Structure 1
Amino acid sequence: MDAPDSADGPNKGLARTRISVLVIAIGISVLAFLLVVAAWQNDRTITSDEGTATAEVLSAGRLRSAVSFITPDGVTHNPQLGVLYPTNLIAGQRIDVEYNKADPDLVRVSGRDASVAIIPAASVVVVTWLIAVPAQLLLRRREEADR
């Protein structure tokens, strides 16, 4: 196996690192976009066959809150994934929810929709690129200095 040329070795490594930073930043941006698209799709599914109920918040967290509600057919539902858009809920609180009648495990807090996912997703994208762009510039300067 040949040893890498001393002039090419560091530049190849820096070029690969620059490409890696770019791929990671693009990947994070795409995932954030897909998160908003998925939230919008869940909203469409709920709205297409919407039922409403009053639910009790069993546990509350920033990212997941568990709820329990009874549908008109008398069945109690406790969605495994919790309720969509769970911010500012308190355990024991009674809230109105909207759910998909065909799939009562797909439930959101009444009055909330995918628009609440836009700001967090956009924030992730902005922070990602605020880190990636200076990293790209720094790596490019190092790459040019090594030439």
Structure 2
Amino acid sequence: MTSPSGRPTGDVLTETSAVAARLIGRTRYHLPEIVLAVALAWTLVALVALGGAFLEDAAIDGNRGTTAATVLDGSDYWRTLVRFVDDEGRLQTPAAGISYPVGLTPGENIYVEYDTADPTHVRVAGRTAVDGILPVAGLIAGGWVLLGPLYVWLRRRRARTGTV
């Protein structure tokens, strides 16, 4: 805190709490913009992920190899592991798993398409990034359904009261 002359009082706790109060006040005032930024970042990340899927599909389509694979134990919702033999006879088990794994169970035999230049890029045969458009659109819409009304409410509240 400062004295009436504008000099610090020397009380660190009082000065720190005054600075924190100003920071919290500014943050609360800008909360609608923060919510909007989170919604936009959510959208951007989802679109970049979908774009990455299309790029990976393009790489696979450019050097496509097709073979049989086995779905391995240890697979989960985020990653499905497979094992296959590539065109050079090497056994491949991509650590990142397989793209578009919906509906696969351990022990199942499937066909996969992979990038012969980089066999770690693998997808289930017949599935592409186009299959991911609807889930990504749902993810984006879900984010906006939650954050859009919150943004509008915070903006209206700030306009009405001058604070959030």
Q: State the TM-score, normalizing by the size of structure 1.
A: 0.88
Unaligned runs of 5+ in 2: 3-17
> Shift of residue 93 of structure 1?
0.4
> Shift of residue 123 of structure 1?
1.0
* Structure showing greater Rg: 2
1:55 touches 1:67 (CA, 8 Å); kept in 2?
yes
Q: Does 1:68 align with 2:83?
A: yes
Q: Does 1:112 align with 2:127?
A: yes
Which whole-Å CA distance do the structure 1 matches of 2:89 and 2:152 have between them? 61
Q: Name which of structure 1's ranges 27-36 and 135-144 shifts more when overlaid on structure 2.
A: 135-144
2:87 touches 2:116 (CA, 8 Å); kept in 1?
no
Q: Give the match for residue 84 of structure 1.
A: 99
Q: Give the match for residue 144 of structure 2.
A: 129
Which whole-Å CA distance do the structure 2 matches of 1:143 and 1:127 have between them? 25
> Shift of residue 128 of structure 1?
1.0
Amino acid at match of 2:59: T
Which whole-Å CA distance do the structure 1 matches of 2:34 and 2:105 have between them? 42
Could you say which structure has the higher strand fraction? 1
Which whole-Å CA distance do the structure 2 matches of 1:51 and 1:71 have between them? 8
3-state SS of paired residue (1:92): coil
Q: Does 1:54 align with 2:62?
A: no
Instruction: State the number of aligned residues.
Output: 142
Identical counterparts, % of pairs? 32
Which whole-Å CA distance do the structure 1 matches of 2:156 and 2:85 have between them? 62
Which whole-Å CA distance do the structure 1 matches of 2:112 and 2:61 have between them? 12
2:80 touches 2:97 (CA, 8 Å); kept in 1?
yes
Which whole-Å CA distance do the structure 2 matches of 1:131 and 1:21 have between them? 10
Listed as ranges, the matches of 1:21-36 within 5 Å are 21-36=35-50
> Shift of residue 57 of structure 1?
0.3
Structure number with the bigger relative contact order (C-alpha 8 A, sep ≥ 6) is 1
Q: State the TM-score, normalizing by the size of structure 2.
A: 0.80
Which whole-Å CA distance do the structure 2 matches of 1:31 and 1:105 have between them? 23
Q: Does 1:39 align with 2:62?
A: no
> Shift of residue 61 of structure 1?
2.7
Which whole-Å CA distance do the structure 2 matches of 1:13 and 1:102 have between them? 50
Q: Give the match for residue 114 of structure 2.
A: 99
1:66 touches 1:82 (CA, 8 Å); kept in 2?
yes
Q: Which runs of 4+ in 1 moved over 4 A?
A: 1-4
